[in-house]
Structure 1
Amino acid sequence: MPPVFAHGALRLYLLAVLEQGPQHGYEIIRALTDRFGGTYSPSAGTVYPRLAKLQEEGLLETTMDGRRTIYSLTDAGRAELELRQNELKEVQANITSSVRRLADEIRNEVQDNMRTLRAELAASAETARTAARQAPAAPRSQPAGTGAPLQQAEFLLKQFRDELRVELRVQSAKNKLDENALAAFQAALDHATAAVKGAFKA
């Protein structure tokens, strides 16, 4: 995959992020992640060395807030940012292009995964049908819930699970799989489980 930032672009963009006000490292990383719509998140190993370099150059200064290091622009940092506004506009335009490219790559990956899952489901369905045809007829004394009906129920359960896995991957790619979404997902699963158990009791 081509680099998200051209040489020196991240350095300049970090100055632009801090133009909004002092921030600690996690906030800076989060700001970059949000700018890319969740399609790219720089690692701490990418961001912190550049922040340290900017501090060495006198463009940033740091203060401590408990255990957190707060970064802010110095007058020299603001002056450099002002002088390089044209370069910053080019960086912004390149970021927009990178966001589109990364979104296309994620979309293609999700589509490929869905095609693979559909193929697996089709193969599983054929296997289940073949097993059902080949299974010997159950004697009248055989307990309910064994043989072909159980295989069909297990296939339906697997299909349900695979469809949910696709949906989870899509939502994760869209950066929508947060704590609230997980709580709602858990509640939906609990409701579905209760409904299935209730169906057997009916």
Structure 2
Amino acid sequence: MNDLECEPIIMHPNFMDAFRADPFDAYRFRAHRGPMGGDHPRGRHGHPGRGPGDRRMFGRGGRGDLARFFAHGDLRLVILHLIAEKPRHGYEIIKAIEERVGGAYSPSPGTVYPTLTLLEELGHVTVTPGEGTKRLHTITPEGQAVLDGNRPTLEAILARMAEAEAALGEGPPPSLVRAKEGLKLALQMRLARGPLSAEQTAAITAALEAATAAVEQA
């Protein structure tokens, strides 16, 4: 799969059950190498499927494992921390995490949005309508109490993220990685909405070809 091909967001059938049963373990389904070389999770009974998170790594490290940055329950704390800084919608959170690890890792919507749903159900964030279809997440007193109670753990996570950003300083600029991922996400989300007409296909193809030409000429 090249950088402009899009993967459908497919949730493992047991993921949300496991996620709700153990909210601190978003990564119950660990990755293994599939027959085509991709990362696939194994569920409770060892069956392969598409994982809840995107384990794609950028920069000098190439592909890697999500656990390199986020262990048991870490991502939930990071997302709460980012929302505590200011209210955010899901894509802002994805971009913020990517930027704070120097572009080395970009969580997929299939990881972030279920976490946001769980945080809302737990009463740790509230959700209000934002611009367009965006949903703005704001931390609650209960969510802040979770952060306060896990402050040493959060500080250690943020330190690891800062170390990753420093170590990958020679890699692609975060803004460039973010733009690439933004394009992929936009195309993926549009394709998920339904079939394209001939005119829409032509317009999107022309835009992608123009972007390719601009990059080649830069």
The TM-score with structure 1 as length reference comes to 0.51
Question: 1:86 aligned to 2:85?
Answer: no
% identical equivalent positions = 35
Q: 1:85 to 1:43 in 2, by over 3 A?
A: same
Larger Rg: 1
Instruction: Return the structure number with greater helix share.
Output: 1
Task: State the distance in 1 between where 2:160 and 2:215 align.
Answer: 41
In structure 2, the partner of 1:25 is: 90
Provide the secondary structure at the position in 2 that maps to 1:23: coil
Task: State the distance in 2 between where 1:45 and 1:188 align.
Answer: 31
Question: 1:71 aligned to 2:137?
Answer: yes
Letter paired with 1:174? P
Letter paired with 2:173? K
Letter paired with 1:49? P
Letter paired with 1:18? I
In structure 2, the partner of 1:51 is: 116
Q: 1:95 to 1:176 in 2, by over 3 A?
A: closer
Q: CA deviation at 1:32?
A: 0.6
Q: 1:6 to 1:99 in 2, by over 3 A?
A: farther
| Structure 2 gap segments, 5+ residues each | 1-63, 181-209
Say which of 46, 61, 73 aligns to 2:126. 61
Contact 2:127 2:135 in 1 (8 A): yes
Task: State the distance in 2 between where 1:73 and 1:22 align.
Answer: 7
In structure 2, the partner of 1:42 is: 107
Task: State the distance in 1 between where 2:166 and 2:215 align.
Answer: 34
Task: State the distance in 1 between where 2:106 and 2:85 align.
Answer: 19
Contact 2:103 2:165 in 1 (8 A): no
Question: 1:9 aligned to 2:55?
Answer: no
The TM-score with structure 2 as length reference comes to 0.48
Q: 1:76 to 1:175 in 2, by over 3 A?
A: closer
Task: Please give the root-mean-square deviation of Cα atoms over the aligned residues, in Å.
Answer: 3.0
Letter paired with 2:148? E
Contact 1:38 1:175 in 2 (8 A): yes
Provide the secondary structure at the position in 2 that maps to 1:67: coil
Task: State the distance in 2 between where 1:187 and 1:96 align.
Answer: 29
Letter paired with 2:157? V
Structure 1 residue ranges (4+ consecutive) displaced by more than 6 angstroms after TM superposition: none
Q: CA deviation at 1:96?
A: 3.0
Task: State the distance in 2 between where 1:50 and 1:176 align.
Answer: 24
Task: State the distance in 2 between where 1:43 and 1:188 align.
Answer: 27
Q: CA deviation at 1:59?
A: 0.4
Task: State the distance in 2 between where 1:67 and 1:187 align.
Answer: 30
In structure 2, the partner of 1:166 is: none
Instruction: State the aligned residue count.
Output: 120
